[in-house]
Amino acid sequence: GQNIDQPTEMTATEGAIVQINCTYQTSGFNGLFWYQQHAGEAPTFLSYNVLDGLEEKGRFSSFLSRSKGYSYLLLKELQMKDSASYLCAVRNFNSGNTPLVFGKGTRLSVIA
Closest to another protein by CB, 5 or 77: 5
Cα–Cα nearest to 3, from 21, 26, 22: 26
Least distance from C-beta 65 to another protein, angstroms?
19
Q: Exactly one of 44, 65, 79, 109 binds another protein (CB under 8 A); which one?
A: 44
Task: Tell me whether residue 35 or residue 72 sits nearer to another protein (CB atom).
Answer: 35
Residue number with CB closer to another protein (15 or 99)? 99
Site for another protein in 13-42 (CB under 8 A): 30-31, 33, 41-42
Query: Does 58 interact with another protein (rule: CB under 8 A)?
Result: no
The answer to whether 9 and 107 have CB atoms below 8 angstroms apart is yes
| Number of residues located near another protein, criterion CB under 8 A | 24
Report the residue number, 46 or 74, with the smaller CB distance to another protein. 46
Who contacts 42 (Cβ-Cβ below 8 Å, separation ≥6)?
A: none
Instruction: Give contact residues for another protein (rule: CB under 8 A).
Output: 8, 30-31, 33, 41-45, 48, 50, 87, 89, 93, 96-105
